[in-house]
Structure 1
Amino acid sequence: TRQANERQASLKGWQELAAKKMKNQDRYLQAINISINAVDRRLKQLIDDSSGSKKKSKKLEEKRDLNPYQRYEARLDELERQRERQLANQRQAELNQKLVSGEIKSSLALRDAQRIDLRLASREAKLSEEERRRIAATPLEEKGWLEIWQRAATNAIGKKKRLSDELDKTLAALKALEVDKQYVDYQKELHGKEIARIDKEIVATRGTRTRALRDTVTNWFRQNAWDLPIGFLLAWILWQLAKTATNTLVTRAKSREKVSRATVQQVETLASIAQGLLKLAIILLTLFWFLKRLGVNVTPLLGGAAIFGLAISFGSQNLVRDVVTGFFILLEKQYAVGDVIQVGDIWGEVEQLTLRRTLIRGRDGKAHIIPNGAITQVSNLTLGWSVATVHVGVSYSAKLGHVREVVDRVGDEMYADEAWKDKFLEGPPRYVGLTEMADSALVIRVKAKTKPYQNWPIQLELNHRLKEAFDDAGIEIPFPQRDVHLIQPK
């Protein structure tokens, strides 16, 4: 019974020892979790830094010769990039600091767990050795228990040796981590000092901006004192050559005998449009040249202008329609500058014609500006030839045969006049016939085919001559008449 009680006490002590070992496993798990969390935070921060590092710093275009302001910008940009690098290094140092601190905390937890495990292993070895000795000193004890406790004691001694070695490694790792912590602390402090130095230099560099700008302007005027007037002079000469070339084309078109007036007008209109386009091109080229001389990169401006033009073409459909319609007006010779046209209720002489609009000067002097896209139907009164038409009222008592003779005689006399003969086409003005029996007069029509633009002066002259001829022939041109009948009351 005493032996059984002693064996039971030994087993109970072994059970308590096993429970303490199980509890100590939680410390190992805690150390592992601390290490995992530290590494996880480090990886997350690395991912964030990787996504944020995609932003590229602004770099000036590398040039051999930089003006003072460009050197100022280059230096400021270099300092900013140095500061960004130091900030990135400082963040890396902080991450390393947190990682090392986490590893130290994990190693401390591992050290405590190993120390407890080592004490438990010592307790296990002592308990096994005591039980082995007790069984060996008791003759009546079963020998099988002796082998069990002998094996347990041997295993406990080996475990104690292994745990002692592992504890030594953990302590050595702790010392190394302490050294690493001192190093990363020093790195963080060093990067902080470097950032402070760069900030001071940035402030000092920004203070030289006005001087750099002044020196740049001064140097630019010294270097371009002659380039500016020469450049603008060349632009002016180029513009004069363009005007001379277009005017020469118009003059040659006018000097050719077989060229019609419509063709001449078309050439004049196209020359005017070409002059406008050339003037715009010369102005833009001069502007870009001037900006480039100032050191401005004009490539983004050209790209922006192209995008702006594309946006206008999509956003302004009316403008596109006006330009397309104006192009076909010129191509098909519908009318040109100098023609007399009628658009709806508006008619007059075309003073200006561009790809976008038409300017018509009315008889009352009003200028009507019509977008080409709004012109759906147009009447050209001077295309190729015109007609002079005169309507004259004669008395109901007049003989139409006599009237016809007088009218034709006036037409022949006018056609024989050297001042008017070249203005007619296909013969003199002729009596057409009776067009209306009005309330007060018989209305006759006189008509003649004329050259373009000559119908209106011919009509004026013909009216004048007919009035004098009718007076001489005794043909009455009556006033408006009304018959009044008086009825006497009965």
Structure 2
Amino acid sequence: MRQISLLQGKEMVNALLLSLISVPAAILLDMTLLAALKNIISKKNKNLKDDNKKQQDFGYINHVHSGLQAILGAGLVLYLLEVWGISFNLGHALSKGALSIFITVLLSYLLWEYLCGLIDNQFDSQDEESDEMDEMGKGGSRKNTLLTLLKKFMTISIITISTLIILSSIGINIGPLIAGAGIFGLAVGFGAQTLVKDVLSGVFFLIDDAFRIGDYVESGKLKGTVERISVRSISLRHSRGQLQVIPYGSLGSVTNFSRDWVAMKLEVRVPFDVDPEKVRKIIKKMGKKIAADEELGPLLLAPIKSQGVREIDDSSQVIRIKFRCRPGDQFSLRKEVFHRVRESFAANGIEFAPKKVTVHLPNIENTMLTKEQLTTIAAAAAETGLAREEQQEDK
């Protein structure tokens, strides 16, 4: 159905002005959309080193931009026809719906970009991980963790509200949908009790500040660095690389290794004839030197000291060294402490005692075995004894 009306006088002047304004406005909007798309890809590929992947992403931008240009061009043509008095009922309905959808999507995107920018500016800067940190991280910021969850919640909310507005703009009554969503949520609450348990457990874990993104935690037999926190589960990255996804309802008790401070306890083995008091003085002197170091000194929260003889085994006396520091710094300090203990012991004529296993052999004259066979049996027994000791130390 087509309606054509001739414009005269003032109406023609208004139509001409609107035409002159709408065309540059459409061009400006097209340039704004292209810049926004490039900005999104630039942020996404900020730390990406693969040039082929970057080219693929920018090629994807061109396709999306071409589609938006087609929609924008069609809307502009229908609008100009409407301005000049040429009205298509079907085209009017389509252009009105398309315009509403376009405006909704554009405003939602601008709101999302603005809010994401505000949230990203509030993130605390995190130092890059060091290879010396081994498996336990320094821990993350609670603010960063909560902001990450807020960003996810905000994204879901904007998408949901935008979808409802778009459905309403094309003539779908969203009242029954909202009521149905409430009924569906109630049904999920009754039927998916495990899901509700996971979500509620996660809320209380976050209220208790049990863990944050970047913390190294242990729950049952699973442990790793918190890499992602969602509404229902937590993702732990093990030191060997595997990703472990654990629902909050299955966490139980959580041990967090990245809070406040850690106590590192090291052990050295020295022969029986070494005076423990002499070792204590050497370690104390070495600890003062580390504390005076410009780089290592600020990492210590308590002085390095010897705790004396921890135990005595068949071949040595075991002396324990203890210090306290912030989570994540214990590995660089441990390496330096071992290095300086080795130098200090060498300077004072102290040698480390190797592990030994004593094997009592019968008199070779009273046995049918040869000397070589007895030596093989003794070596096997020694290896078994050392392996048993290592297992006990691991426990």
Name 2:282's counterpart in structure 1.
Answer: 406
- Contact kept in structure 2, 1:220 and 1:294, CA below 8 Å: no
Structure 2 CA distance for aligned equivalents of residues 283 and 471 of structure 1:
67
1:403-457, Cα deviation, whole Å (9 max, x unpaired)? 212222221111111111111113x211112112133332211111112322233
Name 1:114's counterpart in structure 2.
Answer: none
Verify: 1:290 aligned to 2:290, yes or no.
no
Structure 2 counterpart of 1:454, one-letter code: D
Q: How far 1:474 moved relative to its partner?
A: 2.6
Match of 2:200 among 318, 324, 328: 324
Q: How does 1:15-164 map to 2 (within 5 A)?
A: none
Instruction: Tell me the SS of whatever aligns to 1:236.
Output: helix
1:288-326, Cα deviation, whole Å (9 max, x unpaired)? 111112211111111111111111111111111111111
Verify: 1:222 aligned to 2:95, yes or no.
yes
User: In percent, how many aligned pairs have the same letter?
Assistant: 29
Q: TM-score under structure 2 normalisation?
A: 0.62
* Structure 2: stretches of 5+ with no match in the other structure: 1-87, 128-137, 367-395
Name 1:372's counterpart in structure 2.
Answer: 248
Name 2:69's counterpart in structure 1.
Answer: none
Match of 2:354 among 479, 482, 486: 479
Q: How does 1:228-377 map to 2 (within 5 A)?
A: 228-251=101-124, 265-377=141-253
Structure 2 CA distance for aligned equivalents of residues 424 and 473 of structure 1:
25
Q: Which has the larger radius of gyration?
A: 1
- Contact kept in structure 2, 1:291 and 1:298, CA below 8 Å: yes
- Contact kept in structure 2, 1:433 and 1:445, CA below 8 Å: yes
- Contact kept in structure 1, 2:140 and 2:214, CA below 8 Å: no
- Contact kept in structure 2, 1:266 and 1:330, CA below 8 Å: no
Structure 2 CA distance for aligned equivalents of residues 218 and 472 of structure 1:
93
CA pair 237-263 structure 1, distance change in 2 beyond 3 A: farther
Q: How far 1:246 moved relative to its partner?
A: 2.5
Verify: 1:445 aligned to 2:320, yes or no.
yes
How many residues matched? 268
- Contact kept in structure 2, 1:335 and 1:383, CA below 8 Å: no
Structure 2 counterpart of 1:241, one-letter code: Y
**Once superposed, what is the RMSD of the aligned Cα atoms?**
2.7
Structure 2 CA distance for aligned equivalents of residues 296 and 302 of structure 1:
12
Select the structure with the greater relative contact order (CA < 8 A; seq sep ≥ 6): 2
Name 1:457's counterpart in structure 2.
Answer: 332
* Structure 1: stretches of 5+ with no match in the other structure: 1-214, 255-261
Structure 2 CA distance for aligned equivalents of residues 218 and 471 of structure 1:
91
1:449-471, Cα deviation, whole Å (9 max, x unpaired)? 11232223322322232233323
Q: How far 1:272 moved relative to its partner?
A: 0.9
- Contact kept in structure 1, 2:139 and 2:215, CA below 8 Å: no
1:235-258, Cα deviation, whole Å (9 max, x unpaired)? 111112222233344449x9xxxx
- Give the structure with the higher percent strand: 2
Q: TM-score under structure 1 normalisation?
A: 0.51
CA pair 264-382 structure 1, distance change in 2 beyond 3 A: closer
Match of 1:417 among 288, 293, 310: 293
Structure 1 CA distance for aligned equivalents of residues 241 and 139 of structure 2:
27
Instruction: Tell me the SS of whatever aligns to 1:387.
Output: strand
